[in-house]
């Protein structure tokens, strides 16, 4: 099987233990993660050959991030080195009615200062079938946006499937460009588009006809068909548009589902009630990893691919850390209706 390539920034995540607030802690748990690296780890868990492409500093912290990818079975041969530092983000985990909080410290990171020409995309894509990027990468700097476009154009030229998770992050767009200035040209080259209602509205001004994006716990899947249709009209290259559906009852209890529109059918996945969230960071990335796996393994069964993505990301909410650490068997067990959580002996 040809490989999947993901491109983006991996960061050091520093979080107080448990549910402590920043002001309460004297220690931080350190792990590594980022949107595109999280997708790569999911795919490696599913035995899909995958390469993660990024730019790392040549220091011990960059080496630790590299080691994290290698130990998860992710290919790292096309990572380039240079720049000042690895980006950091601080996470305060919320509970019940107190939401989680993220503080970014990623200015002047190696990925922030990346430039066109630093990565040989023809070499990277020599044995690839799929390329994945997210809206986080073009948000961090003009250089990162330029390299992302460079990669998409190379993938399009080589006939490689391109997917994106729109991933709007309002705290990142700080270099003088608005999402609407940058994202349309990038998404125009995509075959598979994933997002949620906020992503579509903030990037492109597209929103559900009858739903407010601040709907809270109530999520009506059918209301999002209009988002999918409008996105496909706006970006005619797209073959599938997928929307994740998260109902936030509290920081500890979410409902979780998704819908897929392929230009003909509007498909809805089962809804899961995740009542004791361990870590919701990376939930969308685990969905994307599951979706890529599903679309590759069930190419004529969009419903099954969607169901796999939702089940995989449901399980991610039980896993501490950024990246999903579940197997195909565990996902398929949940898909079959077995959510008992019984001990496997």
Q: pLDDT of 156-196, one tens digit each?
A: 999 999 999 999 998 899 999 999 999 999 999 999 999 88
Question: What pTM does this model have?
Answer: 0.94
Q: Are 38 and 68 in contact (CB under 8 A)?
A: no
pLDDT at 62: 97
CATH number at residue 74: 3.40.1190.20
Low-confidence stretches of the chain (pLDDT beneath 50): 213-214
pLDDT at 40: 98
Q: Is 180 exposed, middle or buried (0-12, 13-18, 19+ CB in 10 A)?
A: exposed
C-alpha distances out from residue 147 to 52, 114, 169, 175, 276, Å: 15, 7, 19, 16, 39
pLDDT at 222: 78
Number of domains within the chain? 1
Q: Where are the alpha helices (H) located in the chain, listed in sequence order?
A: 35-45, 60-71, 121-124, 137-140, 142-157, 179-187, 197-204, 225-234, 283-297, 302-316, 328-335
340 within a domain of the structure (yes/no): no
pLDDT at 334: 96
C-alpha to C-alpha distance for 226 and 209, rounded to whole angstroms:
6
207 within a domain of the structure (yes/no): yes
C-alpha to C-alpha distance for 242 and 335, rounded to whole angstroms:
19
176 within a domain of the structure (yes/no): yes
125 within a domain of the structure (yes/no): yes
344 within a domain of the structure (yes/no): no
342 within a domain of the structure (yes/no): no
What range defines the domain where residue 187 resides? Answer: 3-335
The DSSP line for 176-245 is S--HHHHHHHHHTT-SEEEE-HHHHHHHHS---SS--TT-TT---GGGGHHHHHHHHHH-TT-SEEEEEE
pLDDT at 211: 58
The 10s digit of each residue's pLDDT in 111-170 is 999 999 999 999 999 999 999 999 999 999 999 999 999 999 999 999 999 999 999 998
32 within a domain of the structure (yes/no): yes
191 within a domain of the structure (yes/no): yes
């Amino acid at each position: 099987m040809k490989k999947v390539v993901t491109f983006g920034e991996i960061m050091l995540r520093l979080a107080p233990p448990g549910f402590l607030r920043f002001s309460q802690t004297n220690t931080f748990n350190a792990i590594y993660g980022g949107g595109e690296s999280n997708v790569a780890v999911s795919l490696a868990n599913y035995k899909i050959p995958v390469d993660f492409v990024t730019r790392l500093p040549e220091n011990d912290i960059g080496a630790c991030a590299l080691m994290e990818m290698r130990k998860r079975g992710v290919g790292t041969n096309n990572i380039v080195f240079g720049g000042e530092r690895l980006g950091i983000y601080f996470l305060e985990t919320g509970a019940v009615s107190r939401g989680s909080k993220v503080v970014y410290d990623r200015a002047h990171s190696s990925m922030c200062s990346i430039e066109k020409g630093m990565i040989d995309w023809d070499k990277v894509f020599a044995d690839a079938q799929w390329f994945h990027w997210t809206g986080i990468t073009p948000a961090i700097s003009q250089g990162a946006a330029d390299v992302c476009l460079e990669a998409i154009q190379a993938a399009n030229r080589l006939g490689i499937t391109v997917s994106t998770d729109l991933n709007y992050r309002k705290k990142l767009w700080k270099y003088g460009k608005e999402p609407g200035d940058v994202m349309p040209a990038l998404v125009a080259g995509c075959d598979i588009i994933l997002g949620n209602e906020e992503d579509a509205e903030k990037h492109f001004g597209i929103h559900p006809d009858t739903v407010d994006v601040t709907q809270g716990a109530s999520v009506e899947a059918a209301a999002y068909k209009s988002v999918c249709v409008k996105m496909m009209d706006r970006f005619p290259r797209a073959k599938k548009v997928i929307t994740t559906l998260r109902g936030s009852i509290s920081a500890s209890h979410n409902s979780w589902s998704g819908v897929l529109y392929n230009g003909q059918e509007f498909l809805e996945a089962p809804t899961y009630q995740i009542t004791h969230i361990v870590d919701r960071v990376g939930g969308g990335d685990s969905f994307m990893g599951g979706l890529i796996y599903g679309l590759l393994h069930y190419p004529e069964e969009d419903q099954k691919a969607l169901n796999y993505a939702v089940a995989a990301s449901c399980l991610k909410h039980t896993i501490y850390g950024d990246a999903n650490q579940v197997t195909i068997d565990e996902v398929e067990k949940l898909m079959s209706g077995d959510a008992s959580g019984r001990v496997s002996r």
